[in-house]
Structure formats: structure tokens, C-alpha cells
Amino acid sequence: MINAADAFLRGVGVFFIVYLILYASYLFFSVTVGAWKLYQRDKMQRIRNELKHDYYMPVSVLVPAYNEEVTIADSVESLLNLDYRLYEIIVVDDGSKDRTAEELIKAYHLRKVQRPIHKKVACKPHTAIYETKVNNIRLTLICKENGGKGDALNMGINASRYPYFLCLDADSMLQRDSLEKIVQPVMEDDNIVAVGGLIRVAQCVVMEKGTVKEYHMPLNPITCMQVVEYDRSFLASRILMDQFNGNLIISGAFGLFKKDVAVAAGGYDTDTLGEDMELVVKLHVFCRNNQIKYSIRYEPNAVCWSQAPSCLKDLMKQRRRWHLGLFQSMTKYHQIFANFRFGLISFISYLYYLLFELLSPVIEVFGLLTMVLAFCLGLLNLPFMIEFFLIYSVYGAILTMTAFFQRIYTQGLKISAADTAKAVWICLLEGLFFRYILAFVRATAFVGYKRRKREWGSIKRISQQDKNWKQENNEK
């Protein structure tokens, strides 16, 4: 019995170590490719070898909002300062219980109008429509019955006038050139049906009329760890998968879609917690099933600043929801797995999300618990395991630092020596502790978690004015 337990624990230990080595190797390869691609793009831009044009693709900017009275005015203001000639803004208030609609009406003097909306994709009915023009940009507010984020986006699609729509979270802000950057791939290739942009943490930045006025590392360690985590994630897998049209996720905070294809595919699913990933995977399946030549791209130079959870409770709720959404999307489109018709999407993208995203928290938590059990039974080489985990954590931290400082360089941002030291420390802390806390949260996502398929997640928000005030007082 002891021999059998010994063999089992040793087998699990070997599997766990091999799994971590494989993940670290993939991370190294993807970060290397991402850093090199960003370097090449930056070099091209510096010598002005980039596509320039006078034609602008009309875009409808959709902003679904639920209880966003604190940030909605900031978000719309950043959108009105975009360096782009032809776009409209549609804010969809999904039955908010606060003053989201009232704040927007007051800020921009919106007036109530009667306007028919043709429902190309299903959504809950609207209760009121308000419109105005600001600097020749049409701003529309649609108040509707609560149906969830996917339902709100479907309403925005139905109300949109232009052939491409951009979805943007209500707590997010765009830089002046963000819309131009995310549209650029569409100008180069007519077969593109979706483009994802780069998401960065808004608590790091002070914006003024669409321009980054100041960048700093947040004081909150929870927020700080998400800063380096986001940079690693967007630099690594998304740039690598972009090389073979293999991205399965475009963040719901910032993504551009071709409207007629999205409508033909059925629009956003209102019965999933991950409507952003579900739509992207659906587009892959729809286009391949209908033999439509298509491409889904990632544009790392299109930047969106989105607020991240600032407390552990909000972060845990967010990551549980993300993990359940990942599970729903992958099980709904399980036909992609090991299917030669989907090519590298099946054998690299889907496999990556299966092994290193969906199953990874269970594998990591189970592996750690097994190591603890082996130690209690005297079957663990403790010095070796400590040394291995330290090497693995430092190795991961170095890759995270590479991603973070690569982003600082390519975006032309400046940080202080104190922020540089803080970033290095946070990268080490993220690899040693933060990662495993989130792994436990994701591994237990289904345990005692009531699934409310149409319910919005909510985190504590802070307005841009409050952020500026706090920053000024910190400097004093």
C-alpha cells in the first residue's frame, strides 16, 4: 500500500513538474515572439514605414452600461476626443438601478427622440432613446430592459448605422489614436471580421483629452499585480496566435467587429458569462462552416485603459466569472478539438486554452496539494522542490518583467526609478504568490457558485476626476 502511494505521488510530482516546464517553455517562446514583433512594429513606425490613408471606415462605438454613473461621463468624454473622422457613439443603459442615464443626459444635454430600431439580432425592448451631436459626432443613449451585457450589445448592434462596430466597456477610456489603430488592419485586409486591441489598467494612468498625461504604478498591490499580469498576457499568447489567425479571445473591453458577419453568426449569446470569447469562437466556427475567407487579428498598438478590480473580493468574482465563461465557450464549441478542419486553431489555440487556461488551475492546485501530502509522508525531496519552485518563479518573473518593460518602451511611457523598482518587486511577488491565489479561485469556480447567466459583474469604480485629485494629493 505504501509502495503504491509512493509510486502515485511520485508520478503526480513528475507530471506536475513536466507541466510547469511545458508552460514555462510556451511562455518563453510566446513572449520572445511578442517582444520581437513589437520591436519590428516600433522600428517600422520610427522610420514612418506604415500605411497612411485619407479614407476612414465608418465605425459605431457601442458602450454597454449597467450602474456606471461614476465612470460613464469620463468614458464618453474620451470617445469624443478620438482622432478619427467618421464614427458614432451608442451608449446602451441596460436597466441600471443608479443614475447612469441621468448623468449622461445632464452632461451632454441629450434630448428624447422617437426612432425605430430594426432588430437584426434578438434583444430586450428599449424604453427610451436620447440623441444629440457633439462636435459633429452623433451620441445616442438607449435605455432598455435589463438583459445582461450580451443583450445590451445586441441592442447596440441593432441601433448602429455603420458597417463595423466597436464594443467598449463603460469604465474604459481610449487614447486619441486608438480607434485609428484598431481599424488599420481592416484597411489592409478586407477579409478581417474582428480585431482585438490591447487592454491596460486604467488606475495607472491620468488621461487628458485622449492623451496620456502621466503613468505610474498604482499604490494598491492587487491592482499593481494585474498591471504586470495584463502586459504578460497580451504580449505573449495573443501576438503569437495572431501569426496563424488563431486568437480565440477578443476582450469585451475593446474589440472591433464586422457587423454583417456578426449578425449572420447570431450576434452575442445572452446565455453565457463570457459573451466576448463566445462571439469570437462562434465567428471561427461560422466562417469555416460556411467556407468564408476570414481573419481575426490582434492589434497591440490600439490601447484601451480599463479599470481593474482594486480589492481581492472583486477580483475573485471577476476571475470566477471569466473561468465559467471560458468553460461555457469551450464546451459549446467542443467540435474544434482535434479537428483537422480547424488546423492550428484546433491543435494550438484550443489545446492551449484547454491545458493552460481551463485545466491549469485544477492541475496546479492538485499538484501543490500532492506535494504537501508527499512532504507529510516523508516522500518529498524538499530542498529540490524549493529550489525548483524558486527557479520557476524567478524565471516567470523575468518573462513578466520583459513584457512589462517592452510595453513601457513601445508606448513611449516614462516611469520613475521608484516605479521601476516596484514593478520588479511586483513581478516577483506575482509569480510566487498571486498566481497561485488566482489558480485556487479559478479551480473552485464551480463550487458553491450560483450561476446567473444574465447578471452583470460589478466592481468598485473611481472617476477620472477622483483619480486626478488623489494623484495630486499623493504628490504633495
Is residue 267 within 8 Å of 157, Cβ to Cβ? yes
In a domain, 130, yes or no: yes
Task: Please give the pLDDT value at position 475.
Answer: 43
E strands along 203-252, which residues? Answer: 205-208, 211-215
Cβ atoms of 257 and 60 closer than 8 Å? no
What's the pLDDT at 55? 63
Residue 45 lies in a domain: no
- Give the Cα separation of 42 and 49 in Å (integer): 10
Q: Is residue 175 part of a domain?
A: yes
150 in a structural domain: yes
**Residue 20 and residue 350: Cα distance in Å, rounded?**
19
* Domain enclosing residue 102, as ranges: 51-228+245-314
pLDDT value at residue 289: 95
- Residue 164: inside a domain: yes
Q: How far apart are CA 12 and CA 44, in angstroms?
A: 48
Nearest of 42, 48, 44 to residue 409 by alpha carbon: 42
Task: With respect to residue 118, please indicate whether it lies within any of the assigned structural domains.
Answer: yes
b/e code 387-423 from CB counts within 10 Å (16+ = b)? eebeebbebbbebbbbbbbbbbebbeeebeeebeebb
Flag whether 215 is in a domain. Answer: yes
Which regions of the chain are under pLDDT 50? 48-49, 51, 453-454, 465, 468-476
Picking from 167, 77, 93, 170, the residue whose alpha carbon sits closest to that of residue 126 is 93
C-alpha cell at 350: 484550443
Q: What is the pLDDT of residue 261?
A: 97
Strands 164-168 and 59-65: parallel
Q: Is residue 87 part of a domain?
A: yes
Task: Report the pLDDT value the prediction gives residue 474, as an integer from 0 to 100.
Answer: 46
pLDDT for res 180: 92
Q: What pLDDT is attached to residue 455? A: 55
- Other residues' Cβ atoms within 10 Å of the Cβ of residue 77: 17
Number of domains in the chain: 1
Go through the chain and tell me how many residues it has: 476
Q: Give the whole-angstrom CA distance, residue 154 versus residue 92.
A: 10
State the pLDDT at residue 445: 86
* Cα 281 to Cα 298: distance, rounded to the nearest angstrom: 14
Write the CATH number for 200: 3.90.550.10
